[in-house]
Amino acid sequence: MFHVFKLTSRAGVHDITSAEFDVYERKEEVIFLYFYDQATTSEDFEALDRTSLSLIGHAPLLKTNSSVLVNRFRITSFPKLIVLRDGKTSYYNALSPRDMRDHRRLLSWMKSVWLPMVPELSAANSHEVMQGRTVVLAILDRTLKDFEATKQKMKAAALEWLDVRALEDKNEKQELREQKESKIEQAEEKGDKKALEKAKGIQVVVKPKKEVGFAWVDGVFWGRWCRGTYGVDVRETGPRIIINEQDVPYVFASLDTNFQEKRFWDVNLQGKPIQANTDNIIETLQAVLANPPKIKPVSTVGRLETMYRAVVAFSRSHPIGLIGLAVFIVLAAALWTRRRMKRKGYGAGLPTTSFTMHEKRWTDNGGSDGHARQSSLGKSTNQNKVD
């Protein structure tokens, strides 16, 4: 038996009015808003409070029972959790009351939407922004006059992309439903009960698509990284749009191992730099996400890194073969060293005779050995005495 929550008995997440929410909306890029009513239980609020600690430094989490906000966001059931990202509303999909009390699931969803629509890329959030997704990255110079205008164009493109994806999912779901209905009709016409049951059991599920994000980076402050990674110097080229994939599968043709290749696109379908406008960004993004991509990517993996990855891949898939290869390399190096030393007058790595530097120079000048040299020196001395 759940206890009804008493509004005056807890602190926890800040409770706001519609007027207070307007203040937050003007200054925050991302806001989480939790709607409740008199029937909301203490267990629901406990899950909310446990989640709030993990949001510190990311986005404010607020709660309300304001009828004005309820009507504005068309809330019909309680409790309900939404997020506003640059004015775009998304709803947490809770299929049962248990889903609203599962703070781990709540937090997982919040992490997926707690970034602004177009966050600034930094050392602190680079992994979160770039990892596991295709990112439309604007390399900007904040000292230029059109800096804010370009950021607004990026936000407009990001919002438009959400609508494009939503329409794609809607069309795909409709197509799957039609296929299901077609199979049901065919089974009914044939009187095939097994096929009918199988057709009715088909689940209409849209396949997950590659996640797409938008971001911008200060191309002056991070100039060295932008030049080294993308070959872009904003002081010379001006603002540029890059579509980046940080971790796509990189498969060696002769090996059965996947690596992570870094690649990006810096031109559109016409082979020109991607323009900072919605139509050009969406068109290029769709071409990049096609299978295979309609635009050739640029790889940031160099020859040395490729060779290193090949060795690591070989070691993982053929550890015994790697040991044999290492032994072969050591033996080959030893044999090469031995032959080289023999050519220089050494035996098995040790000198066979001991010459002084003076004797070696004389031998090199035509003397046969040390005794011949001594004989010649003796004759010369005696001849000098006679003279």
Give mean pLDDT in consecutive 10-residue pieces for the chain, a chain of 387 residues.
35 86 94 94 90 86 96 94 93 88 90 92 89 93 94 95 93 94 93 91 88 95 92 93 71 40 89 96 96 89 50 62 75 80 57 43 46 47 46
For residue 91, count other CB atoms closer than 10 A to its CB. Answer: 13
Dihedral sign (CA 120, 123, 125, 130): positive
Full 3-state SS string of the chain? CCCECCCCCCCCCEECCHHHHHHHHHHCCEEEEEECCCCCEHHHHHHHHHHHHHHCCCCCEEEECCHHHHHHCCCCCCCEEEEEECCEEEECCCCCHHHHHCHHHHHHHHHHHCCCCCCECCCCCHHHHHCCCEEEEEEECCCCCCHHHHHHHHHHHHHHHHHHHHHHHHHHHHHHHHHHHHHHHHHHHHCCHHHHHHHHCCCCCCCCCCCEEEEEEECCCCHHHHHHHHCCCHHHHCCEEEEEEEEEEEECCCCCCEEEEEEEECECCCCCECCCCHHHHHHHHHHHHCCCCCCCCEECCCHHHHHHHHHHHHHHHCHHHHHHHHHHHHHHHHHHHHHHHHHCCECCCCECCCCCHHHHHHHHCCCCCHHHHHHHHHHHHHHHHHC
Provide the pLDDT for residue 232.
93
Cα(180)–Cα(170) distance, rounded to whole angstroms? 15
Q: What is the CATH number of domain 14-114?
A: 3.40.30.10
Beta-sheet pairing, 30-35 with 61-64 = parallel
Q: Do 14 and 22 meet the contact criterion of CB atoms below 8 Å apart?
A: no
Looking at the chain, the domain(s) classified CATH 3.40.30.10 span 14-114
Cα(281)–Cα(109) distance, rounded to whole angstroms? 27
Beta-sheet pairing, 14-15 with 61-64 = parallel
CA 12-13-19 angle, 5° bins: 135
Provide the pLDDT for residue 313.
56
Length of the chain: 387
Provide the pLDDT for residue 172.
94
Q: What is the pTM of this model?
A: 0.68
Cα(336)–Cα(345) distance, rounded to whole angstroms? 15
90: left (phi over 0), alpha (psi -120 to 50) or beta: beta
> What are the CA-CA distances from residue 255 to residues 309, 319, 325 (Å)?
11, 13, 16
